[in-house]
Structure 1
Amino acid sequence: MEAVSTPSDVTTPLGEFTLFDGVPVGDSVDRLYDALDFHRGVEVFLNAVPGASLAAMRRGFRSIGVTEPHQLAYTDPRANSGSFFLTPNTETTYGTMFFDLRAHGPIVIEPPKQSLCVVDDFWFRYVADMGIAGPDQGEGGRYLFLPPDFEGEEPEGYFVFRTPTFTNWVVFRALGGVPAIKETKVYPLAAADDPPAMEFINLADLAFNTVHANDVSFYEEVDTLVQEEPTTALDPERAGQLAALGIVHGRPFAPDDRLRRVLEQAAQTGAAISRALVYTPRDPDAYLYEGSSWLSAFLGGNYEFLRDGARLLDARTQFHYFATVITPAMAHAQVGAGSAYAYTAHDADGEVLDGAKTYTLTLPVDPPAKNFWAVDVYDTQTRSLLQTDDPHPSVMSLGDAVPANDDGSFTLWFGPTAPEGREASWVQTVPGKSWFPVLRLYGPLEPWFDKTWRPGELERQPGPR
């Protein structure tokens, strides 16, 4: 009998509830529904963060006038810490834009040759690779993207992709830098005979925000997406979670004071859980080495976050809460091609990195990067580049940027002031703030994959505690 019964008094992390012979009574009924709405609000935060991330990014681009398909934002010479972007690097030039298939119809993209370009839909799901990883294999070509309601015949002469959302995000990375980025052409199919001239907008020195909210307005960001996209764009389970909170296509999202209060708490809790998943994940596969704090951002070896047929929900939240771009190429890095990443928010003793303290990081001899390696430093709150006196808080191996030790290894320094004689190997941090580094290997080599080479841990140096 006990197995099919519920006690009269139920104590949970969400409160204590009273029942009479299995029937909730008194104010327990309302509080149970508050608990249910809170639970669903947290789940929506964790599961809808990919969409909220792109909704916020588009809002940020619109704030600086990037609104049309012939407008391409880019970073010249490279990204800096003036704006809020999720973990951009400071080493390479990027181009980026959104295109709206409802507003402009089918869209044609001609990517630069020898480029690495990705299209993701508005829910941050993979649509296509263009360039080296795409069907043109870096030789150039014309890509045609069709809206979800397209019913006509597909024209010839294009690499054709159908996308489940009207709005889509594109990121361009060209090996030839800014001149190559400016070879990009984007135009509506209807204007193929006389496409408008491209407008290139340098956002490197502009200050704006592309990071999603961590309060109740998060749900408003998600609602913006839900209202614009067809109901077929999202799986029934996530759509059902949203609907339970009143986020439904074709209906206004207007939570009353009670629900708004509950969702404010849910968003803050969801953000806190997301930060636990990012900085201290509990999946053992997130840790690159036994006994190390270095983490992988992309778990499961699958761009859809699948393992044995199950969705890795925590891994999806972990990635999207602090990073961008979904492509199979990220889940299957190859020797000598693409990039490999590692990050950590803790020192060798397991303590959170403190911007008031000084640390060293040793990279052993011969870092396994065919092209070069780099370490960028980020703000743990915004997951954007740490704002310091240097707008490019990073060190890299290009040229003789970082002097090697006598044995060929490299010692990097992090702290509020530069150690004497170590300025070229130092990245400034900010007292009163935490931070985290991302190690990037461009063209990772075999010792990275077989783990015969591994970075050292961040060692705190003697000084005021």
Structure 2
Amino acid sequence: MEPHFQAFTRVAVAVAVSFCSSAAPAQTARYDALVNAPFEKDYPTPTATSLLRDELIFQRAVQAYLWALPAMNLWAMKEGSEKVFGAGYHVLPTWKERIRASTLVTTPNSDVVYAMGYLDLRKDGPLVVEAPAGVQGILDDFFQRPLVGPTVDGRTWSGDVGLAGPDKGKGGIYVLLPPDYKGEPPKGSIPKDAFVYRSRTYNVFLFWRTFFSDPRDLAKPNAQIAATRIYPLGQKASARPMQFPDGNGKPADLLFPRDGAYFDMLSRFIDSEYVDPSDLDMRGFLHTIGIEKGKPFSPTPEMRTLLDRAAKSAFKMSKVVIGEMLPHEPGGKYYPDRQWVNVFAGEDTSFQSARTYTNLEQRSAYFTSAYSASPGMVKNLVDAGAKYPVTFRDKDGHFLDGGQSYKLYLPPNIPAKNFWSATVYDATSASGLDNGQDHPSLNQMDKPVQNADGSTELYFGPTAPAGKEKNWLRTLPGKGYFVILRLYSPQQAFFDQAWKPGDIEKSK
């Protein structure tokens, strides 16, 4: 595995070479200014020093922004959640009536019941999680890497809990160890039949999803989540009682910054975290811009202005990556003749399926618009896990326009053993589109009207076509959006492409 810096540098060079030939005149002038920065007697002049130093800081800040996306996505969620719901291993906010667009977070799923908690293994030491039966859960570190678990029946588990995890949906006990924990826990301290997971960061993201068959009756999925127990290892009797605040009770902003405030947040994260030796090169990038563990982040006004520009540029770059570059990556489209994009083309949570590099385009594209990853989400598992085809464009290749009307054709026998859903998202923030509907999604349990042959047509636009209200999702004029088609427990017809969704196409 290559160090992060080498992977970043090599991919950045390749991308730069591929785009240089189409650089606009203004870009060419900028590059010429760098190339021709004046030196006298082999040494930089003050003009060259100022120009090249600022360029170095800008470039390092841009790459640091993109590198840190998985961590900042989660850290923003942690800070936003704790501000509204409180902090601690015992606090597990639950969206009891399904998550609405009033909660600002990247690509939430409104068609399950969510619970999201933030654990601190530095503060509380090893933690025990009693996962209830029926959850489909994930345990990620704060770079959104699945925690590494035990080997059971010849398989090494990582990240997944519940239906796609080692307890297989029956419920189980998980012990979470911090990155600097040495050796094995003392004998007798681990609950019987527990699964021991190790984290590479002190902070751990706990993410539960539970399912329902009737959107009007959510008592069972809420009861399943409420059976969760979390406590420090060996301290169950003295642990703080669990709290399950209603996530819809007060809107929470869980989005990462798109400006210079990102680097203030990144400094707070770095101060709180374990120093992973594999991150030292990228931490060198952070040192260049003034972020270092244990030291205050206090940029000058001039530096802050430069970092603000770098953050805003990096965020826009991430949107170019997901909207323009990702579809051209190997396996970036599910179907060569359609617009559906595969954000997990490599089937690998570390985006290293090629084993000779980290696919930074896939990595940046995913974490600018989503959180959490586990093998159950990325592997091709028939009748298990999930798949998430996403489209930003209509059949003709144009970005989806909230002022236009569209139709999506889904052939009969949609291959989702559990359920399917379609959700609309804000093109900028990737949060649920605040379209005025109760939830910005339609799912199988909503029982949209089917055609006589069992096919289904969904409609997107500012107004519903006459008589199609039950199959319609509202969009907003002047606002771009994208659509995720979720298939929970996808069936063989999806993988061998015997079943393929249509493209979203303009309708009258």
- TM-score exceeds 0.5: yes
Partner of 1:289: 335
| Cα deviation code 1:164-209 (max 9, x no counterpart) | 2222110012345111111110111242234332111110242111
Please give the secondary structure, in 2, of the residue aligned with 1:398.
helix
Partner of 1:143: 174
Q: Mark the CA change 1:293 to 1:21 in structure 2 (over 3 Å): closer, same or farther.
A: farther
Larger deviation, residues 199-208 vs 418-427: 199-208
1:439 counterpart letter in structure 2: L
**Contact 1:81-1:385 within 8 A present in 2 as well:** yes
Larger deviation, residues 448-457 vs 42-51: 448-457
Selected match of 2:316 from 248, 253, 272: 272
**Contact 2:423-2:485 within 8 A present in 1 as well:** yes
Question: 2:459 aligned with 1:413, yes or no?
Answer: yes
**Contact 2:330-2:345 within 8 A present in 1 as well:** no
What is the distance in 1 between the residues matched to 2:387 and 2:195?
28
Partner of 1:311: 358
Selected match of 2:291 from 247, 250, 253: 247
What is the distance in 2 between the residues matched to 1:81 and 1:149?
38
What is the distance in 1 between the residues matched to 2:40 and 2:455?
70
Larger deviation, residues 103-112 vs 197-206: 197-206
Please give the secondary structure, in 2, of the residue aligned with 1:72.
coil
Q: Mark the CA change 1:190 to 1:294 in structure 2 (over 3 Å): closer, same or farther.
A: same
Question: 2:402 aligned with 1:355, yes or no?
Answer: yes
Question: 2:228 aligned with 1:184, yes or no?
Answer: yes
What is the distance in 1 between the residues matched to 2:265 and 2:32?
26
Partner of 2:116: 96
1:156 counterpart letter in structure 2: I
Q: How does 1:93-242 map to 2 (within 5 A)?
A: 93-127=113-147, 128-151=159-182, 154=185, 155-157=189-191, 158-175=194-211, 177-232=221-276, 235-242=279-286
Q: Mark the CA change 1:151 to 1:302 in structure 2 (over 3 Å): closer, same or farther.
A: closer
Task: Report the CA distance between 1:55 and its aligned residue.
Answer: 1.1
Question: 2:413 aligned with 1:382, yes or no?
Answer: no
Selected match of 1:19 from 39, 48, 57: 39
Partner of 2:393: 346
What is the distance in 1 between the residues matched to 2:75 and 2:174?
24
What is the distance in 2 between the residues matched to 1:195 and 1:422?
52
1:257 counterpart letter in structure 2: P
What is the distance in 1 between the residues matched to 2:336 and 2:120?
46
**Contact 1:66-1:97 within 8 A present in 2 as well:** no
Please give the secondary structure, in 2, of the residue aligned with 1:45.
helix
**Contact 1:71-1:200 within 8 A present in 2 as well:** yes
**Contact 2:175-2:190 within 8 A present in 1 as well:** no
What is the distance in 2 between the residues matched to 1:228 and 1:355?
41
| Cα deviation code 1:27-85 (max 9, x no counterpart) | 12210111111111110111111111111000111111231211111111211111101
Task: Report the CA distance between 1:262 and its aligned residue.
Answer: 1.4
What is the distance in 2 between the residues matched to 1:210 and 1:390?
21
Please give the secondary structure, in 2, of the residue aligned with 1:268.
helix
Partner of 2:48: 28
Q: Mark the CA change 1:367 to 1:137 in structure 2 (over 3 Å): closer, same or farther.
A: closer
| Cα deviation code 1:266-286 (max 9, x no counterpart) | 111100110112222241421
Please give the secondary structure, in 2, of the residue aligned with 1:241.
helix
Task: Report the CA distance between 1:244 and its aligned residue.
Answer: 1.7
What is the distance in 2 between the residues matched to 1:455 and 1:412?
11
**Contact 1:61-1:210 within 8 A present in 2 as well:** yes
Please give the secondary structure, in 1, of the residue aligned with 2:74.
helix
Task: Report the CA distance between 1:415 and its aligned residue.
Answer: 0.6
Partner of 2:18: none
Larger deviation, residues 319-328 vs 282-291: 282-291
**Contact 1:214-1:268 within 8 A present in 2 as well:** yes
- Unaligned 5+ runs, structure 1: 1-9
Return the TM-score normalized by structure 2: 0.85
**Contact 2:259-2:312 within 8 A present in 1 as well:** yes
| Cα deviation code 1:84-130 (max 9, x no counterpart) | 01101111011110111222222110001132221111222211332
2:395 counterpart letter in structure 1: A
What is the distance in 1 between the residues matched to 2:422 and 2:312?
30
**Contact 1:230-1:249 within 8 A present in 2 as well:** no
Task: Report the CA distance between 1:13 and its aligned residue.
Answer: 3.6
Please give the secondary structure, in 1, of the residue aligned with 2:420.
strand
Q: How many residues align?
A: 452
Task: Report the CA distance between 1:263 and its aligned residue.
Answer: 1.0
**Contact 1:356-1:415 within 8 A present in 2 as well:** yes
Task: Report the CA distance between 1:14 and its aligned residue.
Answer: 7.7
**Contact 1:122-1:225 within 8 A present in 2 as well:** no
Larger deviation, residues 280-289 vs 301-310: 280-289
Please give the secondary structure, in 2, of the residue aligned with 1:44.
helix
Larger deviation, residues 227-236 vs 77-86: 227-236
Please give the secondary structure, in 1, of the residue aligned with 2:308.
helix
> CA RMSD of the aligned region, Å?
1.9
Task: Report the CA distance between 1:328 and its aligned residue.
Answer: 1.6
Selected match of 1:302 from 348, 363, 387: 348
Please give the secondary structure, in 2, of the residue aligned with 1:311.
coil
Please give the secondary structure, in 1, of the residue aligned with 2:113.
coil
What is the distance in 1 between the residues matched to 2:429 and 2:368?
10
Question: 2:371 aligned with 1:335, yes or no?
Answer: no
Q: Mark the CA change 1:365 to 1:136 in structure 2 (over 3 Å): closer, same or farther.
A: closer
Return the TM-score normalized by structure 1: 0.92
What is the distance in 2 between the residues matched to 1:432 and 1:91?
26
Question: 2:104 aligned with 1:57, yes or no?
Answer: no
Larger deviation, residues 412-421 vs 63-72: 63-72
Task: Report the CA distance between 1:358 and its aligned residue.
Answer: 0.6
Partner of 2:449: 403
Identity across the alignment (%): 33
What is the distance in 1 between the residues matched to 2:89 and 2:210?
19
Task: Report the CA distance between 1:237 and its aligned residue.
Answer: 2.2
2:388 counterpart letter in structure 1: Y
What is the distance in 1 between the residues matched to 2:451 and 2:162?
38
What is the distance in 2 between the residues matched to 1:422 and 1:296?
29
Task: Report the CA distance between 1:151 and its aligned residue.
Answer: 4.2
**Contact 2:378-2:387 within 8 A present in 1 as well:** no
What is the distance in 2 between the residues matched to 1:11 and 1:406?
61
Q: Mark the CA change 1:313 to 1:40 in structure 2 (over 3 Å): closer, same or farther.
A: same
- Unaligned 5+ runs, structure 2: 1-27, 148-158, 212-219
**Contact 2:415-2:492 within 8 A present in 1 as well:** yes
